[in-house]
Amino acid sequence: MTASIYDFTLSRLDGSEESLAAYRGKVLLIVNTASECGFTPQYAGLEALYRQYRERGFAVLGFPCNQFGGQEPGDADIIGQFCQVNYGVSFPLFAKIEVNGDRAHPLFVHLKHAAPGLLGSEAIKWNFTKFLVDRQGRVVDRHAPATKPEELAEEIEALLAAAS
């Protein structure tokens, strides 16, 4: 098991590679996203959180995923355009990945193990599951898809205020 989220390198939506070490010292909200989901309007709330807290060391990292109801069928260009045009997304978006099963990305295997869901289940149940990571790279909480981004503001504030 990887010791830290900073050990992972992933593809961005534009195809470039990025190490999560670039986010060392920041509070992170890592979310599996989809463009055709009932929770898709949460992109607006995620972007609002990002704009509100990014200057204080916060980032939202979006990971499109097509495993739940086929709700992210588009390619990288379609996903990027959709997010920009409809929600003004400026937070980092990564290439489409799988979060469950044999082909689950190792980052999500790590996140799910560090913060299991209800009754200890590690499986992600749907799009817009949110993992909150502290400045030391530790997964501190997992939030269900129905949890609205704005409901996380107090928890984000506390992590931003904590000594790094």
Q: Is 47 left (phi over 0), alpha (psi -120 to 50) or beta?
A: alpha
> Which pairs from 96-102 meet CB under 8 Å and 24+ separation?
96/63, 96/64, 96/65, 96/66, 96/72, 97/10, 97/32, 97/63, 97/64, 97/65, 98/65, 98/67, 99/32, 99/63, 99/65, 99/67, 99/124, 99/129, 100/67, 100/124, 101/67
Q: Reply yes or no on whether 37 is catalytic.
A: yes
The total of other beta-carbon atoms located within 10 Å of residue 6's CB is 17
Candidate list 20, 37, 61, 107, residue with the active-site label: 37
Known catalytic residues are 37
